[in-house]
Amino acid sequence: MSQHTQASLMGKRILLGISGGIAAYKSAHLARLLKKAGAEVRVVMTEGAQAFIAPLTLQALTGEPVRTSLLDPEAEAGMGHIELARWAELILIAPATADLMARLAQGQADDLLTTLCLANDAQWFMAPAMNQAMWRHPATLENARRLQGYGWHLLGPDAGDQACGDVGPGRMLEPEAIVNELLDRLTDTASKPSGSAQQATDAAELTITITAGPTREPLDPVRYLSNHSSGKMGFALAQAAAERGARVRLISGPVALETPPGVERVDVESAQEMLAAAQKAAVDSDIFIGCAAVADYRAEQVAEHKIKKSSDEDALTLRLIKNPDIIARIAENAVNSRPFVVGFAAETRDLERYALDKLTRKQLDMIVANDVSQPGLGFGADKNAALLLWHGSEAAPGRLELSPQPKTILAARIIDTAIKRLSATDEHPSCTSSQVTR
């Protein structure tokens, strides 16, 4: 296992860029949190940002003058903009509007913030915030991809209710979540050995296949067996993987969700259809994630015509037969010829014990255990909590506990962990699931 160095913001010189969106009011709290974490914070605001929050507020919170203009002789006399760009060890833009993302993706330097970004070569993070339709627009998604290619780390966006009344992806992450994500990403950077840029952790080189939603097992032409999976968790995983630049295939049961931008979607109904699509996609996938709630059983006989209610019988007996175990079928192939396989375990008790059993029995590389008895989490909910388990040392499995949080954010942590585990397996190919002693 790689050494995991905990990152800190103590003494870190952070340039906080604020652009003009309603989420700008949250940037005051973000500045406070960064200061509280020990960072030196200087704020640069675009013209639009000043329509939402006064520079004076940020000045009072950071104890530093706030910069707003590129051509300000007085400010330039203090610390010139190139000097300011050199000063910053890390640039964090929150909120990053669609317009700002477009300008940065174009390499424009038409105001102070974009100029500083061009002139700085440290670490770059942004928390996008915009209306859901703007975020979903192909132009914005293309800009997001391009920015990631330039080295920007995108934090979020989150999904949910928006200030404009819409519901969907595009909300800025809450300030606490931004700081946590920042620390996580910095930890990842710190723990990556130098010269390792070519490792499989480069998500842009990966193909990731994800199953999502429920399956429907027909009983007759109008009835079926299914479950309450909404597809939200699987779709959030697909979105997070696509945001990291991976090629993403999403095999989805029947759900009422839009395809995340840039994701290739295959719609299926039954477990058998899902198995066929999964086997086809797994052939050239690097990671396979089984998030779908696959029906364990299907009707032995599917009636050709609608089953009629009998006036004589009070009960109807259905004979069910086992469905194929999709993820086990993917994982049973030779380790060096199959993807890194991540399963989910939906449990209502003894979470860790049952999840470890599935990890071993299904020959998975990692499992995401979620307690689906918790109100407001799991099936159909916007939030989830998870315990990630993988094959660690003989003495103990690797584990990462993730507290209740929006599925969009949780998904990012799951994808990042899977990519990290894949890299670790690539580095130590002899440590495969077939050799687990548990």
* Residues recognised as catalytic: 164
Q: Which is nearer to ligand PMT, 153 or 383 (CB)?
A: 383
Between CA 362 and CA 360 the distance in angstroms is 6
What's the token pair of residue 334? 């030779």
The footprint of ligand PMT on residues 317-356 (CB under 6 A) is 323, 325-327, 343-346
Q: Which is nearer to ligand PMT, 306 or 353 (CB)?
A: 353
Residue 296 engages ligand PMT in binding (rule: CB under 6 A): yes
Residue 292 engages ligand PMT in binding (rule: CB under 6 A): yes
Task: Provide the b/e sequence for 380-405 (b: ≥16 CB within 10 Å).
Answer: ebbbbbbbbbbbeeeeebeebebeeb
The footprint of ligand PMT on residues 384-423 (CB under 6 A) is none
Query: Cβ of residue 336: shortest distance to ligand PMT, in angstroms?
Result: 22
Task: Please give the biggest Cα pair distance in the chain.
Answer: 94
Options 46, 230, 270, 425; binder of ligand PMT; rule CB under 6 A: 230
Residue 58 engages ligand PMT in binding (rule: CB under 6 A): no
What's the token pair of residue 386? 């998870």
What's the token pair of residue 257? 């969700």
Near ligand PMT by CB under 6 A, which window of 75-83, 90-98, 262-270, 285-293?
285-293
Q: Which is nearer to ligand PMT, 88 or 366 (CB)?
A: 366
Query: Cβ of residue 182: shortest distance to ligand PMT, in angstroms?
Result: 26
Cis amide linkage into residue 406, ω under 30° from 0 = no
Options 120, 229, 363, 423; binder of ligand PMT; rule CB under 6 A: 229
Task: Provide the b/e sequence for 336-369 (b: ≥16 CB within 10 Å).
Answer: eebbbbbbbbbbeeebbebbbebbbebbbbbbbb
Residue 242 engages ligand PMT in binding (rule: CB under 6 A): no
Q: Which is nearer to ligand PMT, 20 or 260 (CB)?
A: 260
**Which burial class, exposed, middle or buried, applies to 173 when counting CB atoms under 10 A from its CB (0-12, 13-18, 19+)?**
buried
Options 16, 294, 385, 418; binder of ligand PMT; rule CB under 6 A: 294
List the beta bridge partners of residue 125: 92, 153
Q: Which is nearer to ligand PMT, 260 or 343 (CB)?
A: 343
Give the angle subtended at the CA of 92 by the CAs of 107 and 41, to the nearest 5°. 125
Between CA 307 and CA 339 the distance in angstroms is 42
Near ligand PMT by CB under 6 A, which window of 167-175, 226-234, 261-269, 396-404?
226-234
Query: Cβ of residue 408: shortest distance to ligand PMT, in angstroms?
Result: 11
List the beta bridge partners of residue 406: 383
Return the half-sphere exposure (C-beta side, CA atoms, 13 A cut-off) of residue 220: 10
Residue 290 engages ligand PMT in binding (rule: CB under 6 A): yes
Options 231, 261, 262, 339; binder of ligand PMT; rule CB under 6 A: 231
DSSP state of 125: E
Options 232, 391, 420, 421; binder of ligand PMT; rule CB under 6 A: 232
Between CA 125 and CA 90 the distance in angstroms is 8
Q: What is the dihedral of CA 85, 87, 92, 98, to 10 degrees?
A: -10
Residue 379 engages ligand PMT in binding (rule: CB under 6 A): yes
Residue 39 engages ligand PMT in binding (rule: CB under 6 A): no
Query: Cβ of residue 27: shortest distance to ligand PMT, in angstroms?
Result: 31
Query: Cβ of residue 349: shortest distance to ligand PMT, in angstroms?
Result: 12
Query: Cβ of residue 233: shortest distance to ligand PMT, in angstroms?
Result: 3
What's the token pair of residue 106? 């174009």
Q: Which is nearer to ligand PMT, 91 or 415 (CB)?
A: 415
Residue 95 engages ligand PMT in binding (rule: CB under 6 A): no
Query: Cβ of residue 324: shortest distance to ligand PMT, in angstroms?
Result: 6
Residue 165: strand, helix, or coil = coil
Query: Cβ of residue 214: shortest distance to ligand PMT, in angstroms?
Result: 7
Cis amide linkage into residue 261, ω under 30° from 0 = no
Return the half-sphere exposure (C-beta side, CA atoms, 13 A cut-off) of residue 164: 14
Contact residues: ligand PMT, CB under 6 A: 213, 229-234, 271, 290-294, 296, 323, 325-327, 343-346, 358, 370, 372, 378-380
